[in-house]
Amino acid sequence: MKKAFCRIISFVLALSALVFPLASCSKYNFPESTEEDTETVLIIGDYEVPFEQYRYFFMNFKAEYDGGSDSYWRSLGAKEKSKMFYVIDDLVRAALLRCYATFSLALDHGIDYKSGAVQKEVVESINDSIEKDFGGFDAYLDAIAAAHMTHSVYRFAMSELEVEERLFEAMKEDGSIKSDADTVRAAVESGEFCRAKQVLIMNDEGEKPEDNRKEAENVLLLAQLGQDFDKLVADYGEDPEMITNPEGYYFVRGELIEEFENAAFALKIGELSDIISSPLGYHIILRLEPDEDYINENISTLGDTYAAGKFRQAVDDRGEDMEITATDFWRTLTIDNFFYGE
């Protein structure tokens, strides 16, 4: 349920900017990206997005619809495939926008992902992980290929993680983000924090969404009739965090998946939601009054939550100021460019 920071998979700027000495500092001979890989597909703000980055996101979002099989698309007509292309493209653009917004915001705080300090950490991290995490160079190449990544995409993912950590700490140090106890308590009092519980009926692989919807309707009816919500969570819920965290979620904007978050914040204290659909399945949400004792006992953890939410909001705000422009190369793309090759 928790939504991690958007993990960038490669932010290549202009192609000439890619050739700073990263590979030359490594002990491995990494394969170069192909000419198609480096073709600019989108322009986000001042950043040029190569096809290899776009393809990584597209293939992974696409897998959420087809389960990793080309057979799904063979059953669709041309109009249906075209419609789905644009649905997935919207998801890709949103993900890439968050990525580039992080780089743009970082520059305001004196952090450049192309700098020697950042790239030194990236090189060392990649070299270490190839042996420790992947089990060798060949295994590394196989793993990133299976994830629809090139080495360039992976190394810029590592660059983003390094930049993100540095930016987060810089914003806390310069006061752009505050997380002290007084700030957290004021945020709770002003309604920036929401406390909620849910019964989640997940659409797992192989299940029929319409059957899960009927189960969610049954749970909602029971809740409306006054059955104990915690018992409904225990009997029907498929969110493990609801079982291990009986206090429910305490969260700010930008922390949880959008559908859950929007519905929870729209509720009044003590109010029950209707059935909320999301990529996970169906949610029935109960908003609760924040518990003062819980807040006092967990003020440090809530401070971390608040700071992380403010960070994500700052990145999103920067993204709103960045225009996305498609290139002629993007206009040639269809679903057929993203098959698995079964």
pLDDT tens profile 170-193: 999 999 999 999 999 999 999 999
Q: HSE (CB half, 13 Å, CA atoms) of 159? A: 29
As a whole number, mean pLDDT of residues 257-284 equals 95
pLDDT bin (cut points 50, 70, 90) of residue 17 is very low
pLDDT at 74: 86
pLDDT at 330: 98
As a whole number, the mean pLDDT across the chain is: 89
How many whole angstroms separate alpha carbon 277 and alpha carbon 159?
A: 35
pLDDT bin (cut points 50, 70, 90) of residue 241 is confident
pLDDT at 18: 32
As a whole number, mean pLDDT of residues 212-231 equals 96
pLDDT bin (cut points 50, 70, 90) of residue 8 is very low
As a whole number, mean pLDDT of residues 83-93 equals 96
> pTM for the whole thing?
0.79
Q: Which residue has the higher pLDDT, 110 or 254?
A: 110
Burial of 282 (0-12, 13-18, 19+ CB in 10 A): buried
How many whole angstroms separate alpha carbon 338 and alpha carbon 191?
A: 44
User: Per the structure block, which two tokens stand in for 172?
Assistant: 């806390």
pLDDT at 27: 76
As a whole number, mean pLDDT of residues 314-330 equals 97
Task: For the chain, list the strands marked E by DSSP.
Answer: 40-44, 47-50, 194-202, 249-251, 276-278, 281-288, 324-326
pLDDT bin (cut points 50, 70, 90) of residue 12 is very low
* Residue 2 in this model has a pLDDT that exceeds 60: no
Which among 62-66, 93-97, 201-205 has the top mean pLDDT? 93-97
Per-residue pLDDT tens over the stretch 137-166:
999 999 999 999 999 999 888 989 999 999
Per DSSP, the three-state class of 194 is strand
Do residues 158 and 122 touch, judged by C-beta distance below 8 A?
Answer: yes
pLDDT at 19: 32
pLDDT at 342: 54
Helices 78-108, 151-173: crossing angle, 10 deg rounding: 50
What CATH fold (topology level) applies to the domain 194-289? Chitinase A; domain 3 (3.10.50)
pLDDT at 129: 92
pLDDT bin (cut points 50, 70, 90) of residue 256 is confident
How many whole angstroms separate alpha carbon 72 and alpha carbon 180?
A: 50
pLDDT at 49: 96
Q: HSE (CB half, 13 Å, CA atoms) of 10? A: 29
pLDDT bin (cut points 50, 70, 90) of residue 26 is low
* Residue 338 in this model has a pLDDT that exceeds 70: yes
* Residue 4 in this model has a pLDDT that exceeds 70: no
Domain extent listing, the chain: 15-178+312-338, 194-289
Do residues 338 and 58 touch, judged by C-beta distance below 8 A?
Answer: yes
